[in-house]
Chains A and B, each alone.
Chain A
Amino acid sequence: MSKPEPKKVITHHDKDPDELRVIGRPRRRVDGRAKVTGQTVFADDMKLPRMVHAKIVRSPHPHAAIRSIDVTAALQAPGVLLVLTGADMPIPYGILPVSQDEHPLCPDVARFVGDPVAAVIAETEEAADAAMPLVAIEWEPLTTVASAEEALSTPEPRIHEYGDDGNVHKRIALQFGDVEESLGKSVHVFEDVFFYEGNTHLPIEQHATLAARDGDGKLVVWSSTQTPHYLHRALAKALDFPAHQVRVIATPNGGGFGGKSDPFNHEVVAAKAALVLDRPVKICLTREEVFYCHRGRHPVKMRFRTGTDADGNITAMDLETLLDGGAYGSYGVASTFYTGALQTVTYEIPRYRFRACRTFTNKPPCGPKRGHGTVQPRFGQEVQLDKIAVAVGKNPADLRLQQLCKPDTLTANYLTVGTIGLRQCIDAVVDGSSFRDRWQKLPEGRGLGIACSSYLCGAGLPIYWNAMPHSGVQLRLDRMGAVTAFCGATEIGQGSDDVLAACVAEVLGIAADDIHIRTGATDTTPIDLGSYSSRVTLMMGNAAIEAAERAKTLLVGAAARKLGIPPSRIALADRRVFDVEDPEKVGMSFRDACCAAEAEHGTLGTVGSYAPPRSPARFKGGGVGPSPTYSYSAAVVEVEVDPVTGWLHVPKIWIAHDVGRSLNPVLVRGQVEGSVYMGLGEAIMEEQVFRRLPAKMSNAAVHKFPSMLEYKSPTSLDMPEIVTYVIEDPDPKGPFGAKEVGQGPLLPIMPAVANAVFDAVGVRIDETPITAEKIARALDLRDKGKDARVGPKAFPSIDWPEGLEVPPPWEGGDGRATNDPKAKHYRAPEERGQEMMSDAARQKATAAQRASQSKSGRVSKEVRS
């Protein structure tokens, strides 16, 4: 049976900017007015008649078995209508099919302080709150596992009964070429250990959900979720309720950043209570509970062994990562793969080995936060490159420029690099900051650091395996000239509604503001997988172009017949449909064209959809990392450091981002600056850390400060001046050439800060956050003549499995593992040896790849804020 040919994707990437009326022009975002005037309805703003309120009783123990729960007293409290426990919802769920390890309420074991155990539903929130302490729970405390290292050394008790073994959730080992051989032949081998501390998303809007039964008995759930489709699936499963009788409506999110992309226990609880009581049930989490939802940045310890030639060109890289996953799977398996996925798409790495291990611990579960899994190893990689530059005596900008990946090439781990604007990014920030004149030349206490990065424009695979589109857009056009665009994508503040409007408006020749936008509702909008992995602009944008092109065809055909000219002469712009040869005289209004088309075809509606291209990676695990294309960023950070106290101040940041093409430059700048803000927070202060009490006295392991006051995130007064450069080199894969901008510009900030601190005072802070106290400690070490460095001393010994061996493309690889017995093309080790290419052949193949030249891109004018 032959597979159908993948359909051709129209992206319009090659349009000249002058041809475009909407795309690329700075506009007020379509949802801006409602937000500024307070008219946006967030989930917690919603009120329904007969609505009641839920509060969740959470575990005070980091790890404990539930002996019994007695809800009698709570049920008798004034105003209480219902108390739910784990027994009411026994079916587990989870975002990944391989990690169905969560329950709406813990049935038997609580795994961290804050794990939900019971829910009290009452007439008022006060009544529910007052009854919470009346839920009597008998506990049997279990041993607490509070760090990744402890998880390795404490196989029992297991936090989960599934996973690789003990408290190891997942181990990964992949090798692309013989890394040890290359390291052995390298002029230099740099070995560095880094630690990236966990941190959380801190959206301003706390998660909230309202669930109700429709009049006909169906279930409706409004929720601040980034992934209504995945929530829909989880609700149907966990409630054992027919999926087609559930509708999920994603309310506008007051910030997401990845923290609202799992299905959450409070969402299932509200839905269950609404089904039982047949009354609308609202739950709005407290800020403390948001810290317990978490799914934020994994704490990651990592070791890089990187070989280079005499000039600092990378010959091979060996990366190990150890992740502290917290109490549940969440996206963790994907996060684990991502800690090694994107090392190869910025600089040429001929051979690459990646091994990773995710552990379970008794803390809130980690998951995806802006830059998902790639942020931590990018920090290590870019700081190590700075050390390499110093060691080989090169300017760190030049060290990077001399070994950039080439466009339209495959990497060692089979990722397809399409367009790459990294050279232009580096040039922009280096010129803007006078990096070549000022690096290593500023007075003591002042320094500059540079770093680069890359990020996905959407994951190549969905969360659950299926062959359907990743994004769908439906258009409705009517005789009033009204256009409504429907899409399952979720507006989380990133501007996806505006992208949808802009892509449709551009094709149909109307204004973005003309379009009615209906998004994120599973009952009315075609499926979009959700606002994560920077996928929406590219995938929804391409689906929107397809739907709009189909609508345009209907309008053009009808207008051409009416005007008596061939369709090829028709154009759409400025709300008119007209003859390009006589635009003023021969034409009609957009509305009249809609009428003509409706008269000819009947009710007007079109659809479009998008699925990413298939990746050349054929090995197990090769599904994490592929993307239709990659964005690139470079940053230079300037710091001031007080040489006595280590006090750190960041006065200025230069950031350049290769966005392919700006759909709306205002929003692009907003996302770049927002990323800088979030990255700077992670770099200098944010940390999700836990407090343990003296072991003799207590088993406690609590979040150290689950509040916005003590979890430190920068204020506007802490923000530096930011100079933003938008690099535009339209990518054939992106809608109108656009790539992502929501996550990538965050990644270079943290390593650039670390590198700038080294330039300022000569100390290395090889972990985040980079704080005054750590700098002071390193300064003390420096003054005592010791290694002026603060960071982890060693990487723990991990029992790695035999890795999959995947020869890189230039060593004759075809994307398949040679030693995976499950793979079709399994070859025994003795066979494999003979098939490996000789060094000479490999060099030839690599040289051929390098021969392709970098395309030149456009640098838009400097933007200051």
Chain B
Amino acid sequence: MMRCRPFRYHAPRTVAEAAKILRGEGPDAMVLAGGTDVIPNLKRKQFAPRTLVALRRIGELRTASDDGLTLGAATTLDAIARHAALPEAHRAARIAASKVATPQIRNRGTIGGNLCLDTRCTYYDQSAEWRQAIDFCKKAPGPHGTAIETPVEQGICWVAPGSPRCWAVSSTDAAPALIALGAEVTLVSADGERTIPLTDLYADDGMAFLTKKRDELLTAVRLPAAVEGWRSTYWKLRRRGAFDFPILGVGAALKLDAGGTVEAARVVLGAVASRPLPVDTSGLVGGPLSDEAIDAFAAKAAGPAKPLDNTDFTLHWRKRVVRAWVAGALRELRGDDSEEASLLSRSAARIPEPLSV
């Protein structure tokens, strides 16, 4: 089997203790939440931290607030998918969590881990031997990779060899959905804590994709209180019904008035750039959610999406599908397909069985 390089392992019991360790260890430390992504990456030697700081013993990271709207970062994805206290308006969060990977991974994987998920690329998510065969790339420019999130001015990006940057893809399902819902996240370091809009956690760079400082720990996600008239969904595109990371995610939330006019809208695309990509929704607001409005918006939304040849499916097709997926998500929010789901919505937005358990 594949083997990790040796590392030191800390499992603090409090957030304060974890923050202190992170401060002390410097850039060679990595946070280990569910481990469903970090451990395989360690085995492939994509990075080689000297220290892992595990969150498994920190009980405060697994609690939810009484109103159910603040979730500890170590809440499992499965728990979020089943989180009945979450208002119906925030359905997108439950759909997104329920569509990550597999039941086994959702049982271990956490919401904080999914939000901080390493960007992905089919040139990068490979073993050390494979990467040696292409003479490595910018994101992991040697046989032992590099510390996560540390830009290194060497190596090439094979996805776009002429480009100075890394084009690895933001592959979190949770982020597009939660940004569409207006979520905030709390970051704690030895210096104290700060709360920022979730969208500000991300930067459009395959390597420096988080604005979080290395010694900051993401501790909680806060969703706004549900307001009458809001509804949300998340459409995920992947080849199979399980396992796969998104090759497109559409998080969408709308507020409709009684007459069907859009009062507010947030639409965020996942997996088409190195960060979750918010779409300008000003064209939607103030009008009805007509077929024409949806199609015009979807066409415009597809513009900034820049899929590249580093995920499943071809980039041309992925670009083409953005429009259909955005339109599909909005039609679902309008109330279409409630009786007989269309082929696309069955594939993209069907909530798997665990929710009914």
Across the two chains, which residue of chain A brings its CB closest to B135?
A698
Chain B: minimal CB distance from A691 (Å): 8
Query: Is B263 part of the contact surface with A, judged by Cβ < 8 Å?
Result: no
CA A698 – CA B132 in complex, angstroms?
Answer: 12
B123's nearest neighbour on chain A, judged by CB, is A691
Q: Which residues of B contact A126 (CB under 8 A)?
A: 3
Interface check A129, CB cutoff 8 A: yes
The residue of chain B having its C-beta at the shortest distance from the C-beta of A61 within the complex is B133
Given contacts A60-B129, A288-B127, A704-B122, contact A649 B347 (CB under 8 A): yes
With most chain A CB atoms within 10 A of its CB, the pick from B3, B130, B324 is: B130
Give the residues from 452 to 488 in chain A that come closer than 8 angstroms, CB to CB, to chain B. none
Q: Is there a chain A Cβ closer than 8 Å to B312's Cβ?
A: yes
Chain B residues near A717: list those with CB within 8 A.
240-242, 352
Interface residue B2 (Cβ < 8 Å from any Cβ of A):
yes
In the assembled complex, the Cα of A771 lies from the Cα of B314 at a distance in Å of: 11
CA distance A710 to B313 in the complex (A): 10
Tell me the residues in window 272-327 of chain A with beta carbons closer than 8 Å to chain B beta carbons: 284, 286, 288
Within 8 Å CB of B312, what residues of A?
710, 712
Q: Is the CB–CB distance between A125 and B343 below 8 Å?
A: no
A706 near B130 with CB under 8 A, answer yes
B residues 236-251 touching A (CB-CB < 8 Å): 239-244
Q: Does A133 contact B (CB under 8 A)?
A: yes
- Interface bin, chain B: 35 or more
Q: Which of B100-153 contact A (CB under 8 A)?
A: 122, 125-127, 129-130, 132-135, 143
A709 contacts B134, C-beta separation under 8 Å:
no
The bracket for how many chain A residues form the interface is 35 or more
A838 to B233, CA, bound (A): 73
* Complex Cα spacing A716 to B324, Å: 26
On whether the beta carbons of A645 and B324 are closer than 8 Å, the reply is yes
Answer yes or no: A592 CB below 8 A from chain B CBs.
no
A:105-164 near B, CB below 8 Å: 113, 125-126, 129-130, 133
Residue B56 at the A interface, CB < 8 A? no
Q: Could you say which of A641, A693, A715 contacts B240, with CB atoms under 8 Å apart?
A: A715
Chain B residues, CB < 8 A from A427 = none
Specify which of A645, A647, A702, A776 is in contact with B133 (CB 8 Å cutoff).
A702
Closest residue on chain B to residue A714 by CB atoms: B240
Residue A640 lies at the interface, judged by CB distance under 8 Å to chain B: yes
Taking the closest CB of chain B, its distance from the CB of A409, in whole angstroms, is 44
B320 part of interface (Cβ distance < 8 Å) = yes
How many contacting A-B pairs (Cβ < 8 A)?
98
Q: Is there an interface contact between B239 and A712, defined as CB atoms closer than 8 Å? A: yes
Known A693-B134, A694-B161, A697-B161; judge A649-B343 contact (CB<8 A).
yes
Contacts of B240 in A (CB 8 A): 685, 712, 714-715, 717-718
Encode B147-167 as 1/0 by CB contact (under 8 A) with A: 000000000101001000000
List B contacts of A710 (CB < 8 A).
122, 125, 312
Q: Are B343 and A709 in contact (CB under 8 A)?
A: no
A125 vs B6: C-alpha distance when bound (angstroms): 13
A716 vs B241: C-alpha distance when bound (angstroms): 8
Contact A645 B321 (CB under 8 A): yes
Looking at the complex, which one of B1, B314, B347 makes contact with A125 (CB distance below 8 Å)? B1
**In the bound complex, CA of A776 to CA of B318 (Å):** 11
Q: Is the C-beta of A58 less than 8 angstroms from some C-beta in chain B?
A: yes
- Residue of B whose beta carbon sits closest to that of A132: B129
The answer to whether A190 has its CB under 8 Å from any CB of chain B is no
Question: Taking the complex as formed, is A795 at the interface, i.e. its CB lies under 8 A from any CB of chain B?
Answer: no
Q: Choose from A642, A718, A772 the contact partner of B317 (Cβ within 8 Å).
A: A772
Please tell me which one of the listed residues B156, B241, B313, B321 contacts residue A715 in the complex, with CB atoms under 8 A apart.
B241
**Chain A residue nearest to B144 in the complex (CB):** A133
Distance between Cα atoms of A230 and B126 in the complex (Å): 34
Contacts of B133 in A (CB 8 A): 60-61, 113, 700, 702
- For B101, give the chain A residue with the smallest CB separation: A709
Within the complex, the shortest CB–CB distance from B314 to chain A, in Å, comes to 5
Is A364 an interface residue when CB atoms closer than 8 A count as contact?
A: no
- Closest CB in chain B relative to A382 CB, distance in Å: 25
B194 at the interface (CB under 8 A from A): no
B57 contacts across to A, CB distance below 8 A: none
Interchain nearest-CB distance for B305 vs A (Å): 14
B344 interface contact, C-beta 8 A: yes
Closest to B132 in A: A60
In chain B, residues 291-315, which have Cβ atoms closer than 8 Å to a Cβ of chain A? 312-314
Q: Does A823 contact B (CB under 8 A)?
A: no
**Is B316 positioned at the interface, with any CB of A under 8 Å from its CB?**
yes
Q: Is A773's CB within 8 Å of the partner chain B?
A: yes
Asked if residues A642 and B343 are in contact (CB atoms below 8 Å), the reply is: yes
A614, chain B: closest CB distance, angstroms: 47
Q: Which residues of B contact A113 (CB under 8 A)?
A: 130, 133
Whether B130 lies near A288 (C-beta < 8 A) is yes
CA distance A379 to B347 in the complex (A): 27
A406 to B143: give the CA distance in the assembly, Å: 62
- Residues A633-671 near B (CB distance < 8 A): 640-642, 644-647, 649
From known contacts A773-B314, A776-B320, infer whether A645 and B344 are also in contact, taking CB-CB under 8 Å.
yes
> Complex: how many Å from CA A709 to CA B311?
11
Task: Point out the residues of chain A lying under 8 angstroms from B316, CB to CB.
Answer: 773
Which residues of chain B have C-beta atoms less than 8 A from A776's C-beta?
317, 320
Task: Decide: A698 near B134, CB < 8 A? Known: A704-B122, A715-B243.
Answer: yes
Nearest 3 A/B pairs, CB to CB: A717-B241, A773-B317, A60-B133
Ordered by A's residue number, 8 sampled pairs between the chains whose C-beta atoms are within 8 Å are A288-B130, A691-B134, A693-B134, A706-B126, A716-B241, A716-B242, A718-B240, A718-B241
Contacts A700-B134, A772-B313, A772-B317 supplied; 17 other A-B pairs, CB < 8 Å: A61-B133, A288-B130, A641-B343, A642-B343, A645-B321, A647-B347, A693-B134, A694-B161, A705-B126, A706-B127, A707-B126, A709-B243, A710-B125, A715-B241, A716-B241, A717-B352, A776-B317
